[in-house]
Amino acid sequence: MSGLFITFEGIEGCGKSTQTKLLAEYFRKNGEDVFLSREPGGPNISEKIREILLANENSEMLSNTEVLLYAASRSQHTGEWILPELKAGKIVICDRYFDSTTAYQGAARKIDRKMIDTITSFATFGLKPDITVLIDLAVSVGLARISPKDADRLESESLDFHKKVREGFLQIAKTEKRFIVVDGSKSIAEISNEIINKIEKRLKNEDK
């Protein structure tokens, strides 16, 4: 088996972290070997880059620097952790991956899509998720779940910025077959059941 790579995407406060854990729990109960991670982050180098990216004191960061730092973090994470775990046959679940770059740095920061795709393919060694779950939610609802005093550099961006991020994700989901879109305004249990059912259906169809 060559492993299975599942990523989760969505705006701030959409409930991704909770849902990645619930999906991991579901697979583990079924006896699967699961590796759970997040971006930006993972191995030591990538976590250090995460700190730079999210620190509010780095308000002077240029968009070009930002996109390269997300890519640098992803490259280390993919090469050091994700690819070896997939090779070992595990189910790798990741809270955010390169679609976040397309939505945040592309749709919201307006960095050219072709440039993003080039940087992404270099940073990921060409790896793409098998399935991506987009938890869609109104920006006002997502942001209301974050306390302003705890907001990091990205979370502190304007409402308009976050609306562009949401639109960016929905746009990608329209063109990429690997996407499963779920309604993030439902209860945690309902969302989890929907995700599990849709993933199982996908996996069954792929077996045929």
Name the site residues for ligand TMP (rule: CB under 6 A).
12, 38-40, 70, 96, 100-101, 104-105, 154-155
State which residue, 7 or 192, has the beta carbon closest to ligand TMP. 7
Say how far apart CA 156 and CA 143 lie, in whole Å. 9
What's the rounded Cα separation, in Å, for the pair 167 and 169?
5
Q: Which is nearer to ligand TMP, 26 or 161 (CB)?
A: 161
CB 155 to ligand TMP: min, Å = 6
Quote the tokens at residue 45: 């180098």
**CB of 104 vs ligand TMP, minimal distance in Å:** 3
The residue among 96 and 164 lying less far from ligand TMP, judged by its C-beta, is: 96
Helix 63-77 with 44-54: angle, nearest 10 deg: 160
Least Å from the CB of residue 102 to ligand TMP: 8
Neighbouring CB atoms inside 10 A of 48's CB total 14
Judged by CB, which is closer to ligand TMP: 39, or 85? Answer: 39
Looking at the Cβ atoms of 150 and 207, the one nearer to ligand TMP is: 150
Q: Which residue has the tokens 């749709």?
A: 107
> Among candidates 67, 75, 66, 76, which has minimal Cα distance to 45?
76
Q: Give the type of residue at 200.
A: E
Q: How near is the Cβ of 77 to ligand TMP at its closest, in Å?
A: 10
List helix spans (H) across 6-112: 16-29, 44-54, 63-77, 83-87, 98-100
What letter would DSSP give residue 155?
T
Name which of 52 and 83 has its Cβ closer to ligand TMP: 52
Phi and psi angles of residue 27, each rounded to the nearest 5 degrees, phi first: -65, -40
CB of 89 to ligand TMP, least distance (A): 25
Q: Which of 16, 50, 52, 7 is nearest to 145 (CA)?
A: 16
In the complex, least distance from residue 47 CB atom to ligand TMP, rounded to whole angstroms: 11
